Amino acid sequence: MRHTEMVTSKTDAGRPRATTHLKPTSADQAEAWSSGRLAAPDQVRPGVWSIAMGMPGLVNSLMTVIRDSEGAVHVIDPALDTEENWAATLTTFEALGLDLADVATVVCTHLHADHFGLTQRFRDVSEPEVIAHRIEQDWFSAGVGNPQQDRAADLERWGAPASVRTAYSEWQDAEPPRDAQFTADRLVVEGETIRLGEHALEVIHTPGHTAGHMCLHDAEHGLLFTGDHVLPTINPGLGLGGRIDPNPLAAYLDSLERIAAYDHAEVLPGHGFRFRGLRQRAERLGAHQRSRGQAVAHLVEQHPGASVWDTASRVSWTGGWEALGPVERISALAQTEMFIAAAQA
């Protein structure tokens, strides 16, 4: 599917929110995010850099690069595959004195194009071991619940008006085609450890955003990689890859609760800026999803049998239903469908 859909389909509406409870740990990253520019490569720890990469519609995605004490280089969440991002990678590696041939590992928190996009480029110049969660690879390979699929069938099932379906397919046709392929060399599950030199990353399975999403905890260095499970200013969309049974909201809330236990760690999210204050942020995200779930359940009660489209159009979306772009609307509809299913369960 089209990368712009990837970009925004993972947010409710993509509008930044108040972040007073957060403590950004990089003033430059935080300032760059709020002013819509890409921050310079940001050193997090000795040998650990957070690199802001280009992301249409969402300012940035954050790719982490680690050089271990043996000189091997490890990449977490390689960004969207664009010429600009690859050029930025080359420039950054050069500036940091890193050699592309030393890339030994690529780890993806989940399989959206802004988190695995450059994997093949790294494979073209090195022989990295590519790692993802087993469940993530499963849905990606099977195409089950894959957001890269054509959405025409979904729009029809959701009861979208014909004019909207036509506009969407025209928009989709105008997007450049993308052939997203991804096959991991190693599949991991909850509790396993990924060793990146002296960085031991504990795998924490956090279903919600996607079914096989994982966070990674580097206890010794006090770092937590949260992918799109917890972002500093955006509500991640839910159910955007794979099936999460029986209730995606419950799965996400459970994942939030589990990750909140890592409150001591500094958070390196998939977008935005690095920060502390994980527990409070997780609580806020949970409250948002809970209230949206309640709103949909209420609408289902008031308008039994209404289509997903009609129900979604009655929900108050950040920025307003009418203002949602085609991609944001797809995300809103997919989430409404999930909440309807949960309300009827």
Q: 279 CB contacts (<8 Å, ≥6 apart)?
A: 260, 263
Closest distance of CB 271 from Zn ion, Å = 6
Q: Cα separation of 208 and 334, whole Å?
A: 13
CB-based contact 266:43 (threshold 8 Å): no
Query: Binding to Zn ion (CB under 5 A): which residues in 84-103?
Result: none
CB-based contact 165:152 (threshold 8 Å): yes
In this complex, which beta carbon is closest to Zn ion, that of residue 78 or of residue 293? 78
- Terminal-residue alpha carbon distance, the chain: 31
Closest distance of CB 27 from Zn ion, Å = 23
Strand pairing report for 103-107 and 129-133:
parallel
In this complex, which beta carbon is closest to Zn ion, that of residue 68 or of residue 114? 114
Task: Say whether residue 228 binds Zn ion (CB under 5 A).
Answer: yes
Q: Cα separation of 103 and 66, whole Å?
A: 9
Task: Say whether residue 237 binds Zn ion (CB under 5 A).
Answer: no
Judged by CB under 5 A, the stretch of 22-30, 106-114, 272-280, 336-344 that binds Zn ion is 106-114
Closest distance of CB 124 from Zn ion, Å = 23
Alpha helices in the chain (DSSP H): 3-9, 27-35, 83-96, 113-116, 119-125, 134-142, 152-158, 162-174, 248-260, 278-302, 308-314, 326-344
Query: Binding to Zn ion (CB under 5 A): which residues in 250-309?
Result: 270
In this complex, which beta carbon is closest to Zn ion, that of residue 16 or of residue 161? 16
Q: Cα separation of 173 and 159, whole Å?
A: 21
- CA dihedral (244, 128, 53, 227) in degrees, to 10, reads 30
Judged by CB under 5 A, the stretch of 66-74, 113-121, 172-180, 208-216 that binds Zn ion is 113-121
Total site size for Zn ion, rule CB under 5 A: 3
Closest distance of CB 116 from Zn ion, Å = 10
> CA torsion sign, 276 to 68 to 121 to 1?
negative
Strand pairing report for 103-107 and 73-76:
parallel
Judged by CB under 5 A, the stretch of 168-176, 201-209, 223-231, 332-340 that binds Zn ion is 223-231
Answer for which of 114, 218, 266, 328 binds Zn ion (CB under 5 A) is 114
In this complex, which beta carbon is closest to Zn ion, that of residue 109 or of residue 313? 109
In this complex, which beta carbon is closest to Zn ion, that of residue 119 or of residue 311? 119
In this complex, which beta carbon is closest to Zn ion, that of residue 121 or of residue 271? 271
Task: Say whether residue 77 binds Zn ion (CB under 5 A).
Answer: no
In this complex, which beta carbon is closest to Zn ion, that of residue 12 or of residue 68? 12
Judged by CB under 5 A, the stretch of 35-43, 46-54, 65-73, 227-235 that binds Zn ion is 227-235
CA distances 196 to 59, 169, 176, 179, 199, Å, are 28, 43, 35, 29, 5
Q: Contact positions toward Zn ion, by CB under 5 A?
A: 114, 228, 270
